[in-house]
Amino acid sequence: MTALRHVPAEVVAARALAKASKGSSLKGYLEKSYERLGIPDSLRPVIVALVSNVARRWMLLAKALGYPYERPRASFKFWLSLVVAYQALFRKQKPSKLSWAFKEFPKRDYVDLLRSSPEDFLRDLIPEERDRVYLSVPKWAWEDIKKITDPKEYVLSLDERKHFWVRIRKEGAEAELRRLGYEVEESPLPDVVKLRGPMRWLVRSKLAPSKVVIMELASATIAHLTKGRVLDLTSAPGGKALHARDLGRLVIANDLDPKRFAFGGLERVRSDARLPPFRKAFDALVLDPDCTGLGRLHSPETRIWVSMTSKHKMAEYQRQLIRSALDLLRKGSRIIYSTCTVTWEENEGHAGLFEGLEPVEVPYALPGRLPGWRRYLPNVHGTIGFTFVAYEL
């Protein structure tokens, strides 16, 4: 790869991965690095691809180097070793292209990796473990996905997806998308379409976000379940709140960190949703809390973080939010709860908290494991893994 102001792309990628393993934003770090190092636009997708591919194979790469592979190390040296190993094992990069790396990474090990295939480091595992380690999913997450669908199909459907979803905000936007070169397909929702083609066409156009918004089919379902006055309790970045407003609802978008909002034009309140400063004045409450993110395993950050995440700690945090939200319900109002994960503990496991409420019949997605609960699966619907329910008082 091309050196950038004497900083190899592999080093930029390794620094970003190390930052992510400490909880920092990959996107934020990379954007700062692009500016600081003067990285041209043409090379940025190359670095993003390298970061993504190493994150999606980190367990296999760690195993190939003889490292423990169930939990990543939060160190630059660890991630640089994995990035260099990836260049040998998957890209078959000539050693002459990485001579700078051999001060830390033994050249003999690099040559051995060049002569090897990924399968060479999986043969000592049973078949299912080979898939799990190759795809770099922690055992607890693999087993949770396995309870509802084939985990290999689930993860590959996220990793290999060739389309994305957008929400239409202005009439005529579909025709403009076709003129950009996209194949446009309808979805179960009236204002969401599936696009086949590079996302960069849309990013470079002037369509987003004034005429269309990049939004998962699963996430776009939530606003269609709202009515009247809406309070989005954990709103940032604000996509669901903006959608509800576009549907004619009166919306307040609440979040503890206003810097996370990506959309303007929303009436915002800053507060901790566990201690909400609101009265029983809303027809619909939307609660989409932080979760383990198993529905977004295609994200490099999620692929790294999930090994260090506890579904039980997440579930306890979610219970606090649900209890506070329920105090804001009034007769005839509803709460819509959703997560981008598929674990029982973070979804149907909360059903007891909604005792006394009636589940709302929803025509979208697949039935969940309890009445009223619904689920999107990437290997079925082509969107993120997502669980949701609506209850009414």
Domains for the chain: give ranges and CATH numbers.
3-136 (1.10.940), 159-216 (3.30.70.1170), 218-392 (3.40.50.150)
User: Can the peptide bond before residue 198 be classed as cis, meaning omega within 30 degrees of 0?
Assistant: no
Give 2-21 pLDDT, tens digit per residue: 444 578 999 999 999 999 99
Q: Confirm if 169 and 246 have CB atoms less than 8 A apart.
A: yes
pLDDT at 5: 54
pLDDT at 42: 86
pLDDT at 22: 92
Amino acid sitting at position 190: P
pLDDT at 3: 45
Residues of the chain with pLDDT under 50: 1-4
pLDDT at 265: 85
152 vs 150: CA distance, rounded Å: 6
Cα separation values, 317 from 128, 173, 285, 374, Å: 32, 40, 18, 21
E strand segments, the chain: 3-4, 7-8, 163-168, 183-186, 192-196, 212-214, 229-232, 250-255, 267-270, 284-287, 334-339, 358-359, 366-367, 374-376, 386-392
Task: Name which of 237, 390, 384 is nearest 325 in CA terms.
Answer: 390
E strand segments, 96-182: 163-168
Cα separation values, 115 from 101, 133, 287, Å: 18, 20, 51
Is 79 strand, coil or helix? helix
